[in-house]
Amino acid sequence: MDGYPAGAICLSDCDTAWHGAVPWAISKLTHRYGWVHGSPGFWNLLGLIPVGVATALLIWTLITGIAHAPNAVRLGLVPSVLITDGPYRFTRNPMYVAELASWLAWALFFGSLAVFLAMPAAAAWQPTKPIEFIATAGPGGGTDNLARTVQSIIVKYKLTVRLCGVCGG
């Protein structure tokens, strides 16, 4: 296949869960500075302002990316389109900037040193074991074809992956 319809490339990275629930869970493990009786203090509430700014930047980045998406996407490590407007005017990686700003803002809101210290680890995370794709359809099905296509790209660029075919009930 030469390309794939842009609409078919819909991957969710659970940003809300990762960049909201994980800092919350980490903050529950340690002392929350500025919190009284389980509620944030005034200075903690100010941390919600950069949370909003970081979220707006993520949405702006998403809208800009969708607006510049070609009709067909060629999968690979090098993007087929170079975006130079929107948030990309200010940084080549607006999503990383927004995600790190989000973690910093949650650290302020939760008053948690642990969330602040976990921020670099969250940014530098990489898988330590081979990635497993579980194809929920039989051979030749939609998820099987997608998994095999992604696997071929990962193998081509010498990344590590293992394909596990599990189908049925």
Percent of the chain with pLDDT over 70: 69
3-state DSSP assignment of residue 20: helix
Which domain covers residue 83, as residue numbers? Answer: 4-124
- Are 141 and 78 in a shared domain? no
- Are 65 and 47 in a shared domain? yes
- Are 109 and 142 in a shared domain? no
Mean of the pLDDT values across residues 20-35? 90
pLDDT value for 169: 41
- Are 26 and 84 in a shared domain? yes
| Alpha carbon distance 46, 23 (integer Å) | 16
Q: Find the DSSP H helices in 7-87.
A: 15-16, 22-29, 42-45, 48-67
pLDDT over threshold 60, residue 161: no
- Are 82 and 103 in a shared domain? yes
pLDDT value for 7: 36
- Are 119 and 137 in a shared domain? no
Q: Residue 25: what residue type?
A: A
Q: What global pTM score does this model have? A: 0.64
3-state DSSP assignment of residue 159: coil
- Are 23 and 93 in a shared domain? yes
- Are 16 and 83 in a shared domain? yes
- Are 86 and 31 in a shared domain? yes
What is the gyration radius of the CA atoms in the chain, in angstroms? 20
Split into its structural domains, the chain has a count of: 2
Tokens of 140: 């030749």
- Are 114 and 36 in a shared domain? yes
- Are 111 and 149 in a shared domain? no
Check residues 159 and 168 and name the one with the higher pLDDT: 159
- Are 98 and 42 in a shared domain? yes
Q: What is the pLDDT of residues 60-117, one digit of tens each?
A: 988 888 888 777 656 666 667 788 899 999 988 898 888 889 999 999 999 999 999 8
